[in-house]
Amino acid sequence: MGERGVIAGRFEQWRPHLQSVAYSMLGSVSEAEDAVQECWLRLDRSSPDGINDLRAWLTTAVGRICLDMLRARKSRREHHAGIWLPEPLIEEPAEEGPEYQAVLTDSIGLALLVVLESLTPPERLAFVLHDIFAMPFAQIAQVMERTPHAARQLASRARQRVRAAPQPDTDLALQRRVVDAFLAAARAGDFDALLAVLDPDVVFRFDLGPERGRHRPPLTGPDAVTRHLRATAPRFSPLATPVLVNGAAGSLIGTRDNPIAVLGFTIVRGRVAALDLIKDPAKLRRLRIES
């Protein structure tokens, strides 16, 4: 095997790590794959002699690519009519390939990804690389072409935003009990029981896709959320099955072959603090491909 073949083999070794970094940065599996592919092209055009630490070089390269993609997407998002939510990762280990499983294993929850969407691209990069992937600020500074002090400040500002958001319960068994109670109440039309599992500050967000006319503003408060569920739950709750969404308890509405929506839950202190309904056809397409 020649030198290029060795480099290609080592790139494949680090591909799952790069995919996880890119997904955490972009919240999209397809965009993350594009970023990793561009990273490979840059490596293929580079001289191996100038690379001492391949993992660091690749992480730096994919970080810069994601930063550029975030900036471009932020500009496009100004014309996006509705809410943009991350592309969900649905855990069904027996059906997924190794790259997808690596992303799922290292993935961060929808709740955190939603908060990261509110950050500037440099803040998000600094937080993801340092707080999630433990990259030192000296290396992050090289990715961003800033000083280590500036990178540290960006990560600190991002961390404050993250800590200010409701902190989800990490007990998966507790999450599952709350989600099961929510779905049972929705199926039975027991709206008193629904109110009992909703947080006083609950928010219900909808990502219906980028087409104009599909925009739906978020609902806030138990009364508004319950009124919406009263109108929609009889049709959709019988089609809901429990799954893990980005490692947390959630629900798939429909089937992998015919997905209607994915519903993510943020459980805080044993109650539903946020519901994220992802119905964008582009974000559900992967479920069909991998079923």
> Quick one: pLDDT at residue 180?
95
Domain end marker among 124, 147, 164: 164
Choose among 278, 214, 281, 287: nearest CA to 250: 278
Whether 158 and 124 have beta carbons less than 8 Å apart is answered as yes
> Quick one: pLDDT at residue 275?
97
In a shared domain, residues 136 and 256: no
Distances (CA, A) of 138 to 129, 148, 152: 11, 5, 9
Distances (CA, A) of 243 to 168, 282, 288: 17, 20, 15
In a shared domain, residues 49 and 71: yes
In order along its 291 residues, the chain shows pLDDT tens digits of 567 778 888 899 999 999 999 999 999 999 999 999 999 999 988 877 778 888 999 999 999 999 999 999 876 665 555 688 999 998 853 444 555 444 445 557 899 999 999 999 999 999 999 999 999 999 999 999 999 999 999 999 999 999 999 899 989 899 999 999 999 999 888 989 999 999 999 999 999 987 755 678 999 999 999 999 989 988 898 999 999 999 899 999 999 889 999 999 999 999 999 999 999 998 998 776 555
Question: Which residues neighbour 289 within 8 Å (Cβ) at sequence distance 6 or greater?
Answer: none
In a shared domain, residues 76 and 205: no
In a shared domain, residues 14 and 149: yes
Here the tokens at position 241 are 């099955």
Whether 274 and 266 have beta carbons less than 8 Å apart is answered as yes
In a shared domain, residues 145 and 251: no
> Quick one: pLDDT at residue 94?
42
- Radius of gyration over alpha carbons of the chain, in Å? 20
In a shared domain, residues 124 and 57: yes
CATH number for the domain that contains residue 74: 1.20.140.160
> Quick one: pLDDT at residue 85?
92
| Assigned domain for 106 exists | no
Beta-sheet strand order (sheet of 240-245)? 90-91, 240-245, 248-254, 259-268, 271-278, 198-207, 219-220
> Quick one: pLDDT at residue 95?
45
Choose among 58, 221, 56, 234: nearest CA to 138: 56
Amino acid found at 58: L
* CA 39 – CA 25 distance, rounded (Å): 14
> Quick one: pLDDT at residue 3?
72
CB atoms within 10 A of CB 149: 10
> Quick one: pLDDT at residue 49?
73
In a shared domain, residues 19 and 160: yes
* CA 11 – CA 45 distance, rounded (Å): 13
> Quick one: pLDDT at residue 253?
95
In a shared domain, residues 199 and 281: yes
> Quick one: pLDDT at residue 80?
56
Choose among 242, 244, 265, 239: nearest CA to 254: 239
| Assigned domain for 176 exists | yes
CATH number for the domain that contains residue 262: 3.10.450.50
Helices within the chain (DSSP H only): 3-26, 29-44, 54-77, 98-106, 110-116, 121-127, 137-144, 148-164, 172-188, 191-197, 222-236, 281-289
In a shared domain, residues 156 and 177: no
> Quick one: pLDDT at residue 93?
38
Here the tokens at position 28 are 């999209």
* CA 197 – CA 129 distance, rounded (Å): 35
157 is in which domain, residue-wise?
A: 3-82+112-164
In a shared domain, residues 256 and 176: yes
In a shared domain, residues 153 and 176: no
